[in-house]
Amino acid sequence: MPLSARVTAPAVLLAAAGLTAVTACAPSTSVTGARGDARTGTLRVWLFREVDNKPKEAVAREAVAAFTRNHPGVRVDVAYIPVDTRAQRIKAAFNDPKSAPDLVEYGNTDTAGYVRDGGLADVTADLATWADAKDTDPAAKRSVTVDGKQYGAPLFVGVRALYYRTDVFRELGLKPPGTLAELAATARKVHKERPGLYGLVVGGAYTYGAMPFVWAHGGDMAERHGRRYVSALDGDAAKKGIKAYTDLFGDDNCPVSKCARMGGNDTVQAFASGKAAMAIGGDFSHRAVENGKVKGAYAVVPLPGVRRGQIAPAFAGGNNLGVLKSSAHRTLAVDLMKSLAGKRTQARLFDAMGFLPTYTDVRREAARRQPFALPFVRTLAAGARSVPASPGWAAVDAGQVLPTLFQEVVSGRGSVDAAAGRAARKMNEAFAK
């Protein structure tokens, strides 16, 4: 599933399902349906365990306490499940309602697959009357929506922007690039003047760093035709974006031998350790960079688009909360979902973990209090994008379709046309299943 890769210090680690490049396997069978709607008893909740989980636990305890004060006779049991085994756990829950939680945190690219497998309850009507929901940003709302119905509440969102070394730029008389063409030229100039630095560190396995180049050039991952998605990677606009990204690999910026296999975490680690002048990193990368060698010598701006004044569309990663269709406490589970994903809790999660709120008003206030978030808030406001809301995307992600495409091109094993064509065929096979 992807989600963004949350990065924590001192090392750059994969942490969140909502923000990772790991793909969850979709359950093979579905639950049989709800088992009543009890108004007392124990609610079971599964949340993802973070690398540093204590701040998240504190925020969750506060939200649960507020919920139980208003629901006498109700107990809440919160379990934190490892990200790397979440696929098996959630599959088992879908297949065995008796052991399933009532409420679960899940990555936003898993929505379509979980809906297909009958695991999540439709909560469209419940959210329609919830005051907080009116301020949910469009990208976050889309992340819980399949065929016009909502299957959860967004919990947080994550996007990427351009980190750059202020000391290096000052020494070389450079300004932050205003277009993607200027970004490439600036990267090459830095590497020429400072051969020991990557100008812009890029990764052949960095799917979510590459996607903005495709979108900025007018391309897309896939287009919806009726009830099905069809790959758009072999379209002319998408291929322009693929070329713009893959042209950044080479001895004049980021050598193929070192960069072809890098993922998102690798690129942020290179920047944080002082090996790169620029990197595309997330709001969730801030802590790792702050704890790296470049602390006090970097800044962040939105990744520019093709034309000056444009912001390249970023991938909107993040996590959601959903009520399982099998829950025997549906009404209570929806109420608890609202407490855990409400404005107050999201504001507290930002303060505790740095997770960007999904509410536009809460996010603006967060950026006012913590200016580091402003470039990411601006990026979201400019219009973030996501992957196709298709159950087949899990197979695309698991099959490393996009990394294979980029690596074929940068290694010289295939042209952009040929590699994009092969990737499109593989995507269409996944969408057709």
Instruction: Convert the pLDDT of each residue in 133-165 to its tens digit.
Output: 999 999 899 999 999 999 999 999 999 999 999
Better-predicted residue by pLDDT, 420 or 354: 420
Q: Are 56 and 144 in contact (CB under 8 A)?
A: no
What is the mean pLDDT of the segment spanning 335-349? 97
Buried b (16+ CB within 10 A) or exposed e, 240-259: bbbbbbbbbbeeebbebeeb
d(CA 92, CA 339): 26
For residue 400, what pLDDT is reported?
Answer: 94
Say yes or no to pLDDT of 272 above 60: yes
For residue 243, what pLDDT is reported?
Answer: 98
d(CA 213, CA 52): 32
For residue 164, what pLDDT is reported?
Answer: 98
Better-predicted residue by pLDDT, 206 or 91: 206
For 145, the token pair is: 């929506």
Q: Are 420 and 238 in contact (CB under 8 A)?
A: yes
> Angle, to 10 degrees, between the axis of helix 343-353 and the axis of helix 360-369?
30
For residue 432, what pLDDT is reported?
Answer: 93
Pairing state between β 74-81 and 41-48: parallel
Q: What angle do CA 332, 358, 92 make, to 5 degrees?
A: 50
* pLDDT-wise least confident of 252-256, 278-282, 285-289: 285-289
Say yes or no to pLDDT of 20 above 50: no
Among the listed residues 121, 24, 26, the one whose alpha carbon sits nearest the alpha carbon of residue 319: 24
The count of other CB atoms within 10 Å of the CB of residue 381 is 14
d(CA 319, CA 49): 12
In this prediction, residue 33 has a pLDDT band, given cuts at 50, 70 and 90, of low
Would you call the peptide bond into 10 cis, given omega within 30 degrees of 0 as the criterion? Answer: yes
In this prediction, residue 303 has a pLDDT band, given cuts at 50, 70 and 90, of very high
Say yes or no to pLDDT of 7 above 70: no
For residue 31, what pLDDT is reported?
Answer: 44
For residue 30, what pLDDT is reported?
Answer: 43
For residue 34, what pLDDT is reported?
Answer: 59
The count of other CB atoms within 10 Å of the CB of residue 33 is 11
What is the mean pLDDT of the segment spanning 270-291? 94
The count of other CB atoms within 10 Å of the CB of residue 11 is 12
What is the mean pLDDT of the segment spanning 65-75? 96
For residue 50, what pLDDT is reported?
Answer: 87
Q: What angle do CA 96, 111, 222 make, to 5 degrees?
A: 140
Pairing state between β 149-150 and 153-158: unpaired
- Alpha-helix runs per DSSP H in 286-373: 286-290, 330-341, 343-353, 360-369
**Contacts of residue 373, Cβ cutoff 8 Å, sequence gap at least 6:** 283, 350, 354, 356, 363, 366, 367
Whole-number mean pLDDT of the chain? 90
What is the four-CA torsion angle of 254, 258, 260, 266, rounded to 10 degrees?
A: -90
For residue 203, what pLDDT is reported?
Answer: 97
59 membership: H or E segment, kind and range: helix 54-69
Say yes or no to pLDDT of 168 above 50: yes
d(CA 194, CA 424): 38
d(CA 359, CA 403): 32
For residue 332, what pLDDT is reported?
Answer: 98
Domains of the chain, start order: 41-158+316-383 (3.40.190.10), 160-314+399-432 (3.40.190.10)
Q: Are 15 and 7 in contact (CB under 8 A)?
A: yes
Say yes or no to pLDDT of 2 above 70: no
What is the mean pLDDT of the segment spanning 13-21? 33
* pLDDT-wise least confident of 88-97, 122-131, 284-293: 88-97
d(CA 152, CA 134): 14
Give me the amino acid identity at 411: S
What is the mean pLDDT of the segment spanning 50-54? 84
Among the listed residues 49, 59, 60, the one whose alpha carbon sits nearest the alpha carbon of residue 16: 49
